[in-house]
Amino acid sequence: MRRVLPPLTGLAMLAALVLVFLLVPTEADMGIVQRIFYFHVSSAWVAFLGFFLVAGASAVYLWNGAPTADRLAYAGAEVGVLFCTLVLVTGPIWARPIWGVWWTWDPRLTMTVVLWAIYSSYLMLRAFGGGDAAIARYAAVLGIVGVLDIPLIVVSVRLLRGIHPAVITRTQGGTGLADPWMRAGLLVSALALILLAAWLVDLRVRGAQLEDEVAALRREMDARRGEVA
């Protein structure tokens, strides 16, 4: 798995780029800027996957205390925030020419920025909350509360005024992705980003594992040095 992920990600990325920039037709109303949609929507999916990974791994960690579950939760939050940031960057680039403003307090935009804030605060807690083992437990509590908040956020932001297109579900004036090339572009982009995210999570989990091993070795070294002296 570790061997195949990087080349597989590279291939999928290349395929996504070829599809989105060479094969997918230009959208009739919006023009060239619509092509950012394929990466924007895929990033949003991957961000959600990351946040659900945080919740699942957090629940497992509270249940059995496995260090791997804790590392997975941490990596999920990092990757989730990374892709959520990409959503928040690519969205305004599209919105500026189409809506005329970089940002508006539409339900989906509000939801995305709130989720970004929740999981950024998760990363802050882990980074600055102190180094002891209790932080992993506190973070797991936050990871579970965070995912419980998601449906509430989704419902509550609908009380706000909305203009965001819902392309896939064909509601709110969306037409669905009629063109097969467009559908292929979105699917392959999503696949490429999911593979990239999986690779990143794997790297981060392995990194955290190595950090723990180094810390354990260092403790052992200090103990032996104490014996000699």
Partner 1 sequence: MRDALAILAKDLRIEWRTREGISSVFVLGVLLVVVLTMAHDPSPETAPTLAPGVLWAAFVLTGMLGVQRGFLLERENDCLAGLLGAPVDPAAIYAGKLAANVVLLAVMQAVVVPLVGLFLHVDLAARLPALLLVCLLGFASLATLFGALAARVRAREVMLPLLLLPLLVPLLIGAVQATRAVLVGGLAGASGGLGVLAAFDVIFGVAGWLLFAYVVRD
Q: What letter would DSSP give residue 101? A: S
Both tokens assigned to 85 = 């940031």
Query: In the window 157-196, what residues touch partner 1 (CB under 8 A)?
Result: 157-160
Q: How far is the CB of 164 from partner 1 (least distance, A)?
A: 16
Could you identify the residue written with the tokens 């970089």? 102
Mark residues 56-75: x for contact with partner 1 by CB under 8 A, - for none.
------x-------------
Query: In the window 122-141, what residues touch partner 1 (CB under 8 A)?
Result: 124-125, 128-130, 134-135, 137-138, 140-141
Both tokens assigned to 15 = 């395929």
Among residues 35 and 126, whose Cβ is nearest to partner 1?
Answer: 126
Distance CA 24, CA 203 (A): 32
Among residues 149 and 202, whose Cβ is nearest to partner 1?
Answer: 149
Q: How far is the CB of 71 from partner 1 (least distance, A)?
A: 18
Rounded to the nearest angstrom, the gap between the alpha carbon of residue 226 and the centroid of all alpha carbons in its chain is 45
Among residues 96 and 158, whose Cβ is nearest to partner 1?
Answer: 158
Distance CA 85, CA 116 (A): 7
